Structure 1
Amino acid sequence: MKTSILCIAAGLCLLAACGQPASKRPKEEPLAVEQSRPEALLVPGESAGKLHIHQDIDSVFNILGKPDDGDAAMGKAWGIWHGEDTLAVYSSYADSTMSRRITRQIVVSGNDYRTADGLGRNTPLETVRNRFPGLQPAATYVSDPGNDTLWVYDVESAGIAFDFRKTGGELRCTAVTIHEKEEPVTATYLTIHAGWKKLP
């Protein structure tokens, strides 16, 4: 009898600890998916996984290998790596000595790359804006022959920008750019949006 009473008491304590059932709980705003992979964590103004802003480009090549594609001119270059997750790195000379190049921007389009609060590919524009109220339009591109549009939004002060395309009637993120804080994402000599025409 004593054992049964103890079991009932323990069960009541457990129910009390769990709180109200889901049907009676007040409705809450859905939370973004939290980032659980440090190797794919996006930190505005700082890093994308193992790559970071101002990293020596030789170190980037040691991590990623030789780029699959790219463009270069006037000491500035894009290196592009294709695979499950397309990744691009924009680099330029570190200083006037022109002795080494460093990372200035990192662009990722893979689903696994997320900020700590879950922003990344497929995130709706309004969700990004709620997290970054300072989000501003930076550029608009149209494809050739012009049946698609790409919108770039930037949080210049934080060092993060987002590409959006329309999916199912709403703008959703297709790529994220980590860049230097207080520098606009458009401050590159070469464009990463090959095949797209920038609107004035």
Structure 2
Amino acid sequence: MARFTVLLLAAVSFMACNQPASKNVKAEQTTVTSSSTSSEVDKSSVSNNQLIVPGKSIGQTALNDNGADVTRRLGRPDAGDAAMGKSMSIWYANHDSTSYETMIFTSRQMGTEDETSRVKQIRITSPWFVTKDSVKVGSSFEQIEDLYQPKKTAWFKKDLKKYEIYQANGIAFEINNEQKCTAIMVFTPDVKPGATYLPFYDNLNIY
């Protein structure tokens, strides 16, 4: 399937499905700005809208959710592509392609009784989302390694910088040269290493 290009909202669009998308974006950007200055997460303040659950969900979007329902909640992506029952969408914070992004890969089983397009993988770059162990974008690899013991499974280059991908059970982390997490992905635990990330990258190198 060809490389998908896409644009739109904010990773925070995961927040409130009962509010207009533009308000969701503004509210989340405020939250991200205020919370990302701290390396520690106050567990008592983490809502389900922020929670990353390996193998299950990020915020309000869960694996195997109906793709059409997710799009209705987050709003229409600026662009997208689909082929052979698979599709990718990206939402950018404040419609700014240099800002935080949410990527969602969906797939449908063609020729089966249920051909509903389902969410299979979710990737975010916003530090607003966090695991119950206080891991988020910006966390150190040392912290991630202590908690998840992930295995290095792939790498890619972007803007001449190298990023390593480390995978654990139902979750993966992109790590830069400074040993900081730059993105987090959630997927079903049965996905094979490497195949997990293929929808997101066209220059992936698998170990």
Paired position in structure 2 for 1:23: none
Paired position in structure 2 for 1:183: 191
> Which one has more relative contact order, counting CA pairs under 8 Å at least 6 apart?
2
Alpha-carbon contact 1:77-1:190 (below 8 Å) kept: no
Q: Distance in 2 between matches of 1:150 and 1:69?
A: 25
CA positional deviation for 1:189 = 8.7
CA positional deviation for 1:34 = 4.1
Structure 1 unaligned blocks of 5 or more: 1-30
Paired position in structure 2 for 1:174: 182
Paired position in structure 2 for 1:113: 129
Counterpart AA for 1:187: A
Alpha-carbon contact 2:198-2:204 (below 8 Å) kept: no
Greater radius of gyration (CA): 1
Counterpart AA for 2:174: D
Structure 2 unaligned blocks of 5 or more: 1-38, 95-99
Counterpart AA for 2:104: V
Describe how 1:117-136 pairs up with structure 2 within 5 A.
117-133=133-149, 135-136=150-151
Secondary structure of residue in 1 paired with 2:163 = strand
Alpha-carbon contact 1:90-1:106 (below 8 Å) kept: yes
Paired position in structure 1 for 2:9: none
Counterpart AA for 2:133: D
Cα shift readout 1:105-134 (whole Å, capped 9, x = no counterpart) = 01111011100111010111111010012x
User: Could you state the TM-score of these two structures normalised by the residue count of structure 1?
Assistant: 0.72
Over aligned residues, Cα RMSD in angstroms? 2.2
Cα shift readout 1:87-108 (whole Å, capped 9, x = no counterpart) = 0111101464262110000111
Residue 57 to residue 122, structure 1, CA distance change in 2 (3 Å)? same
Question: Going by fraction, where is strand more abundant, 1 or 2?
Answer: 1
User: Could you state the TM-score of these two structures normalised by the residue count of structure 2?
Assistant: 0.70
